[in-house]
Amino acid sequence: GASLGCGGIGLWIDGTLITTETFIESRVIECEPEQSVFDLIYQWQRAGHDYKLTKRITIRRGDRLFKTDAVFQRDGEFADTLTVAVGLTTHDGKAKATRNLKAGWVACWEEIDGSDLGTGIVMDPQVIEDYKLVESDKPDESHALLIAKTNKRGKVSWWSGYGWERAGEIRNTLQWEKYLTDFSEKH
């Protein structure tokens, strides 16, 4: 679907989120008990340009957030200063979105099947240009977004993940927001 889920990325063109299609290729870089690293490669065309996105995802055992390094190419060249949006679905507005751009995070908190769940994104505050809450009547198109630009090599990085009430460590939105702030200070 069109949802960015928990930490998906799309282009941000003229105030509109442009999502990618399904990845066309994947590569396992590392698969060990302590860490998994893999690439997902996407290609598409938009407004006369050929785009390629390579997302490298690093998941470490025991970490609540996973890291994504995304590299964009446009017409075969690194897409420097490309405006992108990294987001969280609000599940059609059911999740309450909060943010702290100074600390570099956006979060959602909601009840799903009788239990509370938080999702979040942490990004270097210096690359964040804006925050947008996109509300839509169309299913899966409502998001809380961090707007950023790629660097000279077409790259942007962030961490995303979740906290679940039933796991016992994070039981409410204030604890989730504190977790994201603390995480941001360490990374």
Interatomic CA distance for residues 179 and 182, integer angstroms = 5
pLDDT range class, residue 1, cuts 50, 70, 90 = low
Interatomic CA distance for residues 165 and 134, integer angstroms = 26
pLDDT at 90: 96
Answer whether 182's CB lies under 8 Å from 103's CB.
Answer: no
Q: In this structure, what token pair is assigned to residue 86?
A: 């990294």
pLDDT tens digit sequence for 75-129: 999 999 999 999 999 999 999 999 999 999 999 999 999 999 999 999 999 999 9
The model carries a pTM of: 0.94
Q: What is the mean pLDDT of residues 49-57?
A: 97
pLDDT tens digit sequence for 114-161: 999 999 999 999 999 999 999 999 988 999 999 999 999 999 999 999
